[in-house]
Chain A
Amino acid sequence: MTAATATLTLDRVSVGDTLPELTHDVTATTVILGAMATRDWRPMHHDSKFAVERQGVPDIFLNTPNQAAWFERYITDWAGPAARIGRVVFRMTSPVFPGAPMTFNATVKDVATDDAGCGWVTLDVSLTVDGAVKTTCEARVAVPTSADDNPWARRGERWIP
C-alpha cells in the first residue's frame, strides 16, 4: 500500500469496509529511527542490553509516539491527504520487537456526520506480529463529505474531534 493522493469522500465508506493490509519488517533500525524521530532518548528504545537486563523484555521495542506515527501513516495511506485525524486511542498489550514483520489491518466501525457537518469515519485498527495482536487502536478520522469539502479548513466550533 502506498500513500493515497486521491480524495476519499464519506459516501464511498461503509461500516464493515476493510482497509488494505500493510506489512513492514521490524528491524533494530525501525525501532531506533522511530525513537530518534520522535525525540525519545530513553534507552529501552535503542539499547538492547538495557532493555533485556533492566526492563526484563527480549529486546528494544517500538516507542509510543512512533506507534502513533505508524497508525497515522496507515490510516492516511487509505484515506488520502484531505483526511484529518481527530482522535487516536490505542492500547499496547505487548511490545513490538525487531525480528519479525508487523501487520496493520483495519475495519470501518462507524460512519457519521456531526452537528457541524463534518464527516467522520471510526476505524478499528490492529497491529499484529505473527498473528498475535500487539496493539489495538480506535481512530476517528474526518473525511470530506464531498469533493469540495475540506476537513482541514475547520476551526473552533466547527472541529469536534
Chain B
Amino acid sequence: MTATNTPLDDTLPEDVAAQIGAYQYEKTADFPVEQSYVWTSCASVFNGNPIYWDPKAAEDITGGPISPPSLLSAYARPHYWAPGAEGEQLSLQVHFDLKKRFGLPEAIMTDNTNVFYEPLRVGDVVTSRQVLKSVSGEKRTKLGVGRFWVIDVEYHNQNGELLGTESYTGYGYRREASA
C-alpha cells in the first residue's frame, strides 16, 4: 500500500503537532496476566511451546509461569463491556482520536514493531501509556485519502519494570467513490 502513496497536503494542525512526543492515556489494566489467556492465544496459533503448557518447563527454562510476549498488548486492552462503561471500549485511544480529529472513518495498521524486555509473568498487572510520534500529510492510496501516523506504546509491570514497547503505523482514511 505504501508504494502507491500520492502526497496531497503536508500541513499538520497545531493541536495535533502539540501532541507529538507527549505521553497520553496511562492506564493500569483491570485484570492480571492470566494463564487462560496464555492457553487461548497459543491455541489460536497452534503454539505447542512447552514453556506455555508445562509448568516444569516454564520453571526450568524461564523461572516460572510465563506469557507469550506477543500477547503483551492484550493485557492492556479494555473489556468489551464492563459495569458503568458506555459505548465501544477502545485500546490505542490515540489512534481513534486521530481518526476523529481528521474525520477519517476507516483505518488500517500497516507496520508494527515489538521489542520485549522483562519476561511477562502470569499474575503481572500491566500499565500502558501511549505517545504519538508522527503524523503524515494527507496522502492518497488505493484504499482512499488519509494520513499515516506512528504511535508508540510502552508497557510496564507492577514493579515499574519495562516489559516491552510497541510501535504501530496506522493509516486513517476515507474511501473515495468508485469511478
Contacts and interface: CB of A to CB of B under 8 A. Distances in A.
Interface of A: 2-3, 5, 24, 30, 33-34, 36-41, 54-56, 64-73, 76-77, 81-82, 84-95, 150, 152-153, 155, 159, 161
Contacts of A77: 47-49
A18 B80 CA distance: 41
A69 B48 contact: no
B44 A69 contact: yes
A58 B68 CA distance: 31
B143 interface: yes
Contacts of A76: 47, 49
Taking each of B1, B40, B42, B114, which has the highest tally of chain A beta carbons within 10 Å of its own beta carbon?
B114
A159 B70 CA distance: 18
A92 B111 contact: yes
Interface residues of B, number: 49
Interface stretch (B6-14, B16-24, B102-110, B131-139): B102-110
Top-4 shortest CB links A-B = A3-B48, A73-B47, A37-B44, A68-B70
A71 B117 CA distance: 18
Contacts of B112: 64, 67-68, 88-90, 92
A41 B1 contact: no
Contacts of A153: 63
B179 interface: no
5 contacts: A3-B47, A41-B80, A68-B112, A81-B61, A82-B61
A56 B175 CA distance: 8
B69 to A, nearest CB: 6
A90 B74 contact: no
Given A68-B112, A85-B69, A92-B111, A38 B175 contact: no
B41 interface: yes
Nearest to B109: A64
A51 to B, nearest CB: 10
B37 A92 contact: no
Contacts of B46: 24, 73
Given A37-B40, A66-B45, A73-B46, 11 more contacts: A3-B48, A55-B106, A64-B168, A65-B74, A86-B116, A87-B116, A88-B112, A88-B114, A89-B114, A92-B111, A161-B115
A2 B114 contact: no
Contacts of B74: 37-40, 65
Nearest to A150: B61
A55 B172 CA distance: 11
A161 B116 CA distance: 7
B108 A55 contact: yes
Nearest to B110: A92
Given A66-B45, A152-B119, A161-B116, A72 B61 contact: no
A73 B106 contact: no
Interface string B113-154: 111111100000000000000000000000110000000000
Nearest to A87: B115
Interface string B51-77: 100000100011100001111011101
